[in-house]
Structure 1
């Protein structure tokens, strides 16, 4: 163990707050979780200007905002340059913890499909430079010499063209003197009202002697079959194919993969969408033609229906009273998309319905309208311009066989399905469960489902905010990982 590492461990064990550098920080989901667990956010690296501004807005005071709100391209910024830019001090002594998730587009299967279309080559995604950004993460680890680190990514990082990036990172970290393990965790098992499956890699400097790498679940939820299927695909690179019948030897001996902590049915049930959103004000402007097309800004505060915390769920109470991000009056980002064609479809969908059901509802509505016009003596024949215009006015344009998962109406009594970055383009994946409101979720509702407190501010307008939320690590899950990490750093006494 180097003297630098020893000094960092001693400082924290004597009561010093661990200093965090957040790479690929986004708006700050990991940062918020670590801050809540007792860490200090010293700096962040993020290239998106809206996300960078959001991070600076929430983690640095007004005098430091300009300094920390500059977008930083990690491919063009060396660690020593960053330490100098942000006045962090000597590079190898400035930071205790590095966290972050290199952009996941290259790892995720949806990203691969898009790249194949562009490159017309079945393995094109392997050449996507975003898939190599984890190497920049490792370069920062070498330079800053943290005593512990966290890396997050999509499960597909375990099976990237048959290649296990997480295992490669673990091997590299072992060469640098770290003890490392990775696993798959679902946010719904840690108090987040969202079923979000992600890979987490945790490493400690050898002088720490860790015992537990991952936190114990706090909530139980039986995940839908699709989530289990995604997990099995991701795990193909760590499963010993010669020992499938012998469960004790199911995983390869030389892997750093660790089974996720067991989730017991005796735990409290997962937080549901209704528990997360029920206390937020209803939105009805779109039903009275008060909502128009255009950018949605966060300049109008909508008061809570009641500022009294009695009668709302414990989760909603936490979202209003999160230390350092309290908000007891109302919200200014409770804004939704302008989707007039679809409001009546949303109303008629049942919880759990997806695009095929929505399409069938739209076809039924179209046929009723057609018959109504015919009864009034107006004949509209298939193939004519008026027929086509009426069809487009009522029926969404997507093929239900090709896009079965494009829409989904949330179930009030279950956690929401995974929030994705494409919320920045459309939000049909999360149609509000309340049929009377006939709409997709708002920015603040997306933030609630991702476990961002109501006092957390998002920079920009609606689309950038949705994207920031969809890209983020749920703060409550990050907090569980951070608390476990701090306990291990302190020798089990945290």
Structure 2
């Protein structure tokens, strides 16, 4: 028989009495998962975020439990150096820390787990095993210490699918083993955001745990939309699943879309009512002065899409707004005409060819006396004003032009450094996407504000859990927590003292 802390059983009784679940989120970022949990009826009681700009964004959009704790609420924190008891005290929560939180959630940093992150770490540190030695790869162990201190009745972890193969080690299985020893039922699976109303094909691993006393395994949300994943996503999924044990694993079969569901939300449905942006090439001085906080009116658009309506009127964040912020884009004059001429769904080899065509056309327009000799220094200099320097054989996916009839490809934190991975489909705008368009593709509502300048905003968006996907997970979890328990013998134990992580 399991020996479970009495405080967890008391929390479950509280939830069955109709009270809202209360959450502590670690590695919250700017608040993507928090938006989903909040919309599902979960009270956001505390959060921890290391990045100061992301923490500032969180404070801009979510209220602290006590108005006099605003400074502590907005403070950036290191989850290793912090402990839940001190955090609770700083934001004004009285009493034992294990009494406060019903749900513990975390979007743990993925840099050491993601294949692209591993490659970068190897390159920067000149060490093939750098990803294994990265401190961020051990944060799941710190998360388990928070579980011990907080004694939640439910847990959510989000990460990239590559966490299933961390140098041959399936990290979610290890986490499950530890949580089972603590008295939880645990399952993990892969979910793609496009199946849950997000206009983006974003594959992520979710691990969910619930208190053992409930007597059943946690479940996952069923898809609300139908989508066909491109071969690259299917291949990555298959590769990840190879590292799930054939027997005895805690892997939950990936939820499948049933016939009759509406198709996935497309890029055009998601973005068409947002402002047309041409200042980057028509009046670049205006674009250089524009801030991410500056508001522009919506574009005139007949037949507003249901997705756009949701982004304008998100539950709890539906203040009346006549326009949106975040209409800043990169100013890259060399590539504007290449963007315009690229075909939808075109990648870097296609862009490279288009740029060469533009260069050749320009050469043809010059008088004979003006044409530089082939491969001369002048010729190479002129070519560089049209053609990007990257080898198309080495960087086939460096650029991509959005397909308006499909969901977007995955947005990443690397957009903070360049946004060529998401070029706007509209040839008349000839640009990469704006901050607000990235936010829409990630399902952030239009009223959501981002602290910092353009690069920081892109990074926050790319790092975030899509709020609509977070909502689906949170709603399913809340339903499980108030389900009638399946009878199972348990022995309760009392915690002797307020738990505090060392």
Coarse TM-score class (shorter-chain normalised) = over 0.9
Structure 1: which 5+ runs fail to align? 240-251
Aligned with 2:175: secondary structure?
helix
Question: Pick from 337, 346, 368: which aligns with 1:344?
Answer: 337
Q: Name the structure 2 match of 1:43.
A: 46
Q: Name the structure 2 match of 1:30.
A: 33
Moved more, 338-347 or 64-73: 64-73
Q: Name the structure 2 match of 1:437.
A: 429
Q: Name the structure 1 match of 2:173.
A: 167
TM-aligned CA deviation for residue 387 of structure 1: 1.4
Checking the alignment, whether the CA contact within 8 Å between 1:57 and 1:65 is kept in structure 2 is no
Structure 2: which 5+ runs fail to align? 486-502
Question: Pick from 129, 136, 146: which aligns with 1:140?
Answer: 146
Q: Does 1:367 align with 2:360?
A: yes
Question: Pick from 202, 210, 214: which aligns with 1:208?
Answer: 214
Distance 2:250 2:401 in 1: 38
Q: Does 1:67 align with 2:72?
A: yes
Distance 1:234 1:294 in 2: 42
Q: Name the structure 2 match of 1:286.
A: 280
TM-score normalised by length of structure 2: 0.92
Q: Name the structure 2 match of 1:80.
A: 85
Q: Name the structure 2 match of 1:473.
A: 465
Distance 2:68 2:433 in 1: 35
Q: Does 1:273 align with 2:279?
A: no
Aligned with 2:158: secondary structure?
strand
Distance 1:18 1:53 in 2: 24
Moved more, 103-112 or 71-80: 71-80
Distance 1:262 1:225 in 2: 17
Q: Name the structure 1 match of 2:496.
A: none
Checking the alignment, whether the CA contact within 8 Å between 1:353 and 1:408 is kept in structure 2 is yes
1:51-85 alpha-carbon deviations (Å, 9 max, x no partner): 00111111116654322111101111122222222
TM-aligned CA deviation for residue 346 of structure 1: 0.5
Q: Does 1:184 align with 2:190?
A: yes
Alignment of 1:81-100 (within 5 A): 81-89=86-94, 90-100=96-106
Question: Pick from 218, 232, 237: which aligns with 2:243?
Answer: 237
Q: Name the structure 2 match of 1:249.
A: none
1:426-478 alpha-carbon deviations (Å, 9 max, x no partner): 10111011111111111010000000000111111111010000000000000
Q: How many residues align?
A: 478
Moved more, 214-223 or 110-119: 110-119
CA 1:389–1:292: 2 relative to 1, 3 Å: farther
Question: Pick from 154, 158, 162: which aligns with 2:160?
Answer: 154
Distance 2:346 2:128 in 1: 33
Distance 2:469 2:73 in 1: 25
* Structure having greater relative contact order (Cα 8 Å, sep ≥ 6): 2
Q: Does 1:18 align with 2:21?
A: yes
TM-aligned CA deviation for residue 130 of structure 1: 1.0
TM-score normalised by length of structure 1: 0.93
Q: Does 1:354 align with 2:354?
A: no
Distance 1:151 1:212 in 2: 13
Q: Name the structure 1 match of 2:205.
A: 199
Aligned with 2:208: secondary structure?
strand
Q: Name the structure 2 match of 1:107.
A: 113
CA 1:300–1:122: 2 relative to 1, 3 Å: closer
